[in-house]
Amino acid sequence: MSTHPPIDLSLYLVTDAPERCGHGLLETVQRAVRGGVTVVQYRRENAGYAEMLQEARPLREYLRRAGIPFIVNNEVELALELQADGIHVGQADMPVEQVRRLVGPGMVVGISVSNAGEMRAVDPAAADYVGCGPVFTTATKPDAAPAIGLEGWAELSALCPLPLVAIGGITAARARAIRAAGRCDGFAVVSAICSAADPAAAAAEILSTIHQP
């Protein structure tokens, strides 16, 4: 685990491709933060390193000023160059133990899981939190595993040894159902915020739902 101070996973924004962000990448993130997003992950597929660096650097600079943790998806070299707060990897990416060795103890490391076998294999000495899902079917990530549903969430949340974030088709209406089904420390959202006409309002709505008793 990292020596980085614990991060607030309550509302975890994962960025969509810039062309799917209605206000552009940086402004969408800025608006989402104003709405209450607590952590931001930069995720970019089918782009070269130079393009990712150009896109991500302004995000890093803004989020540092705003005091919001900045996580990079999969790209260890990019995370190190930008001095990100963390790195998140999936099952098909670099093994989490190797990631930890490369980034050292000062960076938060997250790992994605989608079934019980993967959850049982999570190494609490290497990872700091788990992103679990997709809970519901999502078009945001075409290669995502089948949705686990609320029953699957209940099973996997009971097995998780670390802070746990739900991802996949998350909306304000579904957040309470997930929390009712099992332990949940945060919700990762992509299109419900990035594609919203008002990202700040969308973030605030989800956050208010999360905080309802």
CA distances (Å), origin 93, targets 74, 85, 96, 98, 155: 7, 19, 8, 10, 24
User: Would you call 141 a catalytic residue per the annotation?
Assistant: yes
* Length of the chain as a residue count: 213
Cβ–Cβ under 8 Å, residues 42 and 71 = yes
Is 2 known to be catalytic? no
Helix (H, G, I), strand (E, B) or coil at 41: strand
Residue 173: other Cβ atoms inside 10 A: 10
Known catalytic membership, residue 191? no
Catalytic residue selected from 10, 31, 43, 100? 43
d(CA 123, CA 198): 38
Task: State the catalytic residue, choosing from 20, 34, 64, 141.
Answer: 141
- Among residues 2, 112, 114, 191, which one is catalytic? 112
- Give the active site residues: 43, 112, 141
